[in-house]
Amino acid sequence: MSGQSPECDHRVYKSLIVILGALTLGLAGGVAVALTGTRPFDAVKLGASVTAFTFTAGLAVAAYVGKHQS
C-alpha cells in the first residue's frame, strides 16, 4: 500500500507551449513586416526564421529550466 507515487514530467505540455509560442511570434512577425509594405515572400521568410529561432531558443530554455528544477 505504501508504494512510490508516480512522478509526472509534463514534457509534452512544455513542448506544446513552446511550439504555440513560436508559431504565434512567427505569425506576428510576418504580419508586421507584411504591413510595412515589403514583398510577401520576404514576410514569409522573416516569419519562418522568427518561428525557427523562437522554437530553438524555447526548447533550450525549457531543457535548462527542467534540468535545474530537479
- Could you give the residue ranges of the DSSP H alpha helices within 1-70? 11-35, 40-69
Which among 11, 20, 23 has a CA at the least distance from the CA of 52? Answer: 23
The reported pLDDT for the residue numbered 11 is 80
Q: Is the pLDDT of residue 21 over 70?
A: yes
**Structural contact between residues 22 and 54, judged by C-beta atoms closer than 8 angstroms:** yes
Q: Is the pLDDT of residue 7 over 60?
A: yes
**Structural contact between residues 51 and 33, judged by C-beta atoms closer than 8 angstroms:** no
pTM higher than the cut 0.85: no
**Structural contact between residues 50 and 23, judged by C-beta atoms closer than 8 angstroms:** no
Sole residue written with cell 514534457: 11
